[in-house]
Amino acid sequence: KLKGLVVCGDSSSQVISDLLSALLVACSETNRTDQNLMLACAECLGELGAIDPARISIAVKQTAWKEKTDDDLAFELIQDYLVRYLVKDSRSDKVAYAIQELLKFCNCHRGLVNGSNGRDAKGHIEDDPRAAQIWGRFKVETQEVIRPYLESAYEMEDLESTTKRPFFNNIKNYKMWLGHWTRDLCRKATGARSPIFQACRGVVTFDNNTAFYLLPYLVENVLLYGQSDHVNEVRREILAVLADDPSQSSQICVQAVFSLLDTLTEWVDREERRRISRANELRRRTGRSTQDESTRADLDSQARLSKLQDLLNAIPRKILAEASWRCRAYMRAL
């Protein structure tokens, strides 16, 4: 029957498109906890065979670690990662706490909601432009799900992990390792984004998708605002993973570290391009660019660039190449 759908007319195109999208998502980097599942989905794709791309429409959302505003990060966590757990997971109290705290961070609360049914005609929170803009971005169905958490009062006990660091030396299982590490980073978060990360410290222990999404932002936070010993812990964790002779399970940890380093490298390159662009714009407007003017304009950018680059430079190329070779990522090894 499935083969018939593949070869028949346009009426089946959406069915096949949906099936392909689901299989590709299951094979994606964000679903790393079960490699057997990923292999099974790959086999299913092989069984479907070559399908004319002109007959299908696929939109597979991939994890995109773009540099985001604080509000964008909080919004995406709720909309794309947290809401789905409220209806399917028994540990929803931790998710509810995260949503509650993220809504507080965005200044969304029941006292700002007007109308007899809890919202105005457009479904936006009034009286606070920032809160109104964020609330209005949520899908209507999401607003209905998260509305109770505008006035909820969940609390969560904060227990420090007793596992010695680096975590990877004691935990080789990807799901447990990533959960322990990201939770530790959430607890140590400082700066303007610390409420966002603190809100998610319970969720990351069991939701690898959220943990994997937050990892680059958490590492960046420690590099920019953390204590020197916390920065060293991040470096040692990365080196511990890269130095391991990977089994099937720990190899996923190595791939996660590769993704982290790739993201940080991309951010460094982007920051450098922005710095050059600002310098060129200054020369265009003033006809000159003194060292003092450049330093004042780019102080924050240069500090961020330096701290990200310091971590990348602290990972020896030889160790990266050897880890890539062991994982059979031969192009990366070169």
SS (H, E, C) the chain: CHHHHHHCCHHHHHHHHHHHHHHHHHCCCCCCCCHHHHHHHHHHHHHHCCCCHHHCCCCCCCCCCCCCCHHHHHHHHHHHHHHHHHHCCCCHHHHHHHHHHHHHHCCCCHHHCCCCCCCCCCCCCCCCHHHHHHHHHCCHHHHHHHHHHHCCCCCCCCCCCCCCCCHHHCCCCHHHHHHHHHHHHHHCCCCCCHHHHHHCCCHHHCCHHHHHHHHHHHHHHHHHHCCHHHHHHHHHHHHHHHCCCCCCCHHHHHHHHHHHHHHHHHHHHHHHHHHHHHHHHHHHHHCCCCHHHHHHHCHHHHHHHHHHHHHHHCCCHHHHHHHHHHCCCHHHHC
Question: pLDDT value at position 90?
Answer: 53
Residues of the chain short of pLDDT 70, as ranges, are 1-13, 28-35, 54-55, 57-66, 87-91, 112-127, 248-249, 287-298
In this prediction, residue 126 carries a pLDDT of 53
pLDDT at 74: 97
Q: What is the pLDDT of residues 26-36, one digit of tens each?
A: 776 555 556 67
Predicted TM-score (pTM) of this structure: 0.79
pLDDT at residue 34, rounded to an integer: 63
Question: What pLDDT sits at residue 298?
Answer: 64
What's residue 110's pLDDT? 78
